[in-house]
Structure 1
Amino acid sequence: MLKHMEQKNESTPLVTVITATYNLIENKRAKFIIQCLGSVHNQHYSNIEHIVIDGASNDGTLSLLKEYESQGWIKLFSEPDAGIYDAMNKGILKANGKYISILNSDDFFHDPEGIAISVKLLEENDADYSYADARVLKKSGRKFQWKGDLSKLLVGEHYCHQTMLVKTEVLRDMGGFDLSYRVSADSDLMIRLYALGYKHQYVPHCFVTYRYGGYSFHYDAQSRKDHSTSFFHHIGCHIGLSEDDCFQLWQLKFITEQTYKEQLALVHKVPEEFGRDYVYAELKKRNPLGGKQPEKKRYYLFGFIPVFQVSFQKNTYTYSLFGIFEILNVTCFNGKWNYKLLGVIPILKVKYCK
């Protein structure tokens, strides 16, 4: 008997959860999909259908999934596809719910009230989509909370897409995921939702666990290009940002890739709506001495005896006595600082984390 029955009660509109799968057993991810399926089945919200779109797995994954289909937990479809976003688009077309949630096979709902709370706020505020905080789980076992924040859309730190519930009609009107973005079509979708003016609703409740190191993580350079290209075309070109500006601002890469003068000029181009204060604060925190400054700074005793010198080259600050004897070497890369005494003895390492 199905645990989640499609009800006519308007107070509990049907929610469709979509999960894409392919050869999970071969990739040693069987335990993840089992946890994912269980977390949907155990939601306290009474009206859910869980659609699993499989890409014609041939490693035993289908047999595993059919066990859950036979119990009524999922609706299973399996056929070759053009990748994860093509699979998600197929799920969008098959969805019967008023709202759609995309939950990746590695991820899960750690709180059984998540869907219920999200639907309640969507219905009360007549919103088109919702987003929330996510718990990020690293391979080391370390966890931290990713705060959902639309003002960070420009820099690509806005929110985890697995926390979203979106009206099905909205996703279909938008054409679903744009398959031209092979790595970050999810980012493009979130950018388009905002750019098209759909009404959003923040859900102040963390209910999704996202396993760090997923698909886009392995293609970092392409993810950067996808996100910045989409943001420029849909938003950036209308607010005075160039495509290169958007590229530099992604994950705040400009802090280690531009001169200090360029950094400050770029920060001033960022509208308040897209986190100017946050970007500037991060610049001061991660790189307080500025960017790639080609000049050397000299400090003089009595105004003419050079006793101390600071030079900068390739993200490295060198501190020298009389411009000759190196006493400290400081290297900065992506917010990580390494301090070496006499240029060779590591004495301190500092990393800025979320």
Structure 2
Amino acid sequence: MTFSIVTVVFNDIIHIEKTMESVINQTYKNVEYIIIDGGSTDGTKEKIREIVLKHAEIIQEDKEDSKYFLYAQAKKYQNFYFKFLSQKDKGIFDAMNKGVILSQNDYINFVNCGDFLHNQNVLANIAALNFSADVFYGDLEICYLDHNHKFIKKTSRNLDDLYCLFRDFGHPNCFIKSQVHKKYLYDTNYKLASDYDLIYKLYRNHCKFYFSDIVISTFNSGGASDQNGFKSLREALKIALFYNTNFIVKIKIIFYYFFSLSKKIAKLYLPVSFVKSLLKFKG
């Protein structure tokens, strides 16, 4: 089994090294590591190149006015490759689509800047399962308040629960078969919840899902979807209502929308101790 791990970043020199090292230090080395930079101007682009060249030898390097591309092979591991593209994009999901298009291995997973694979054996543990599915998914660790509070977010095994607005599915804890992902790219009309739309789309098109209770990724609460939480939630509501026509289910979706809305309001205005407990609830 081979993996394409994709990191999307823009102007985040503070966190990029930790994210990259979580992929580079995996014990399983049959990996293509793709880094997509949105044309950073804070030194992130130069830092990425520095990290890649620390671990790999250049195979191809293309420099243009508006685009930089680097292809390299790890010095110690012949099956570990780097692809680094720096180019302006039209948003996070446009950048993520570029990563999908560049991928060539069996399964794609996104570990975007600020997040990281949960431990060094994540890919080895997944490969050992020897499963056959279009989508593999597992659990997620959530970090709140810059890693001062962590907890495991258990993902539902019941795919019918998808109507509950995200239901803990997203790019950090899903591995999608490359040939499937290339057929179903992220819809860039959604700026914050397109990963939720994609999972729903794959489910509605009868793709095969496989679950394991492996904790896949550590997700740092406070990214784009959190900073634009109300807009993200509205997008999720629109997506869930689009994929469900049953009246009763639509009522449930609206209920979950207001429940999730109350959680987001609480994160903004209530004491931290209360918010930490509230975040563990589903919805």
TM-score (norm 1): 0.63
Identical columns (%): 27
CA distance in 1, matches of 2:98, 2:216: 25
What does residue 179 of structure 2 align with? 169
Query: What whole-Å deviation, never above 9, does each CA across 1:136-180 have from its counterpart, x for those lacking one?
Result: 111160111100115442222333431211101111111x10001
RMSD: 2.5
- The 2-side partners of 1:353 and 1:177 are apart by 27
1:139 and 2:157 correspond: no
**Superposed, which structure 2 residues align to 1:172-187 within 5 Å?**
172-174=182-184, 176-187=185-196
CA distance in 1, matches of 2:92, 2:231: 16
User: Which of 210, 222, 227 in structure 1 is aligned with 2:219?
Assistant: 210
Partner of 1:57: 40
Is contact 1:21-1:55 (8 Å) kept?
yes
Which residue does the alignment assign to 2:112? 104
Residues in 1 aligned to 2:210 and 2:107: alpha-carbon distance in whole angstroms: 13
Contact 2:140 2:153 in 1 (8 A): yes
2:18 alignment partner in structure 1: 35
Equivalents in 2 of 1:77, 1:251: separation in Å? Answer: 40
Conservation of the 8 A alpha-carbon contact between 2:169 and 2:196: no
Asked if 1:79 corresponds to 2:87, the answer is yes
Q: Letter of the 2:22 partner, please give it.
A: S
Q: Equivalent residue for 1:295?
A: none
User: For structure 2, which runs of at least 5 residues remain unmatched after alignment?
Assistant: 57-73, 75-81
Distance 1:241 1:81 in 2: 40
Q: Does 1:226 align with 2:220?
A: no
Distance 1:198 1:47, change over 3 A: same
CA distance in 2, matches of 1:21, 1:112: 21
CA shift, 1:120, in A, is: 3.4
TM-score by length of 2: 0.78
The Cα of 1:131 is off from its aligned counterpart by 1.1
CA distance in 1, matches of 2:157, 2:227: 24
SS of the aligned residue for 1:131 comes to strand
Alignment equivalent of 1:115, drawn from 109, 123, 145: 123
Contact residue 140 and residue 152 of structure 2 kept, 8 A: yes
Letter in 2 for 1:78: S
Distance 1:253 1:107, change over 3 A: closer
* CA offsets 1:242-262 (integer angstroms, 9 cap, x no match): 7675344236358x7xxxxxx
Structure 2 partner of 1:269: none
- The answer on whether the counterparts of 1:134 and 1:160 sit within 8 Å (CA) in structure 2 is no
Q: Distance in 2 between matches of 1:251 and 1:120?
A: 41
Q: 1:136–1:146: 8 Å Cα contact kept in structure 2? A: yes
CA distance in 2, matches of 1:118, 1:251: 36
Kept in 2, the 8 Å contact 1:147–1:159? The answer is no
CA deviation map 1:63-91 (0-9, x unaligned): 10111222326321111110110001011
Distance 1:129 1:242 in 2: 24
Letter in 1 for 2:203: Y
- 1:146–1:159 contact (8 Å) kept in structure 2: no
Partner residue of 1:48 out of 31, 41, 46: 31
What is the SS of the residue equivalent to 2:206?
Answer: coil
TM-superposed deviation, 1:60: 1.0
Asked if the contact 2:233–2:257 (Cα under 8 Å) also holds between the matched residues in 1, the reply is: yes
What does 1:1-354 correspond to in 2, within 5 Å?
13-25=1-13, 30=14, 32-70=15-53, 71-72=55-56, 74-121=82-129, 123-124=130-131, 126-139=132-145, 141-151=148-158, 152-156=161-165, 157-174=167-184, 176-234=185-243, 236-237=244-245, 239-241=246-248, 246-250=253-257, 252-253=259-260, 352-354=278-280
Larger radius of gyration: 1
SS at 1:153 equivalent: helix
Q: CA separation in 2, counterparts of 1:90 and 1:166?
A: 15
CA distance in 1, matches of 2:27, 2:258: 36
Matched pairs, number: 244
- The alpha carbon displacement at 1:115 in A equals 1.4
SS of alignment partner, residue 11 of structure 2: coil
Unaligned regions of 5+ residues in structure 1, if any? Answer: 1-12, 257-285, 287-332, 339-348
Question: In the alignment, residue 38 of structure 2 is paired with which amino acid?
Answer: G
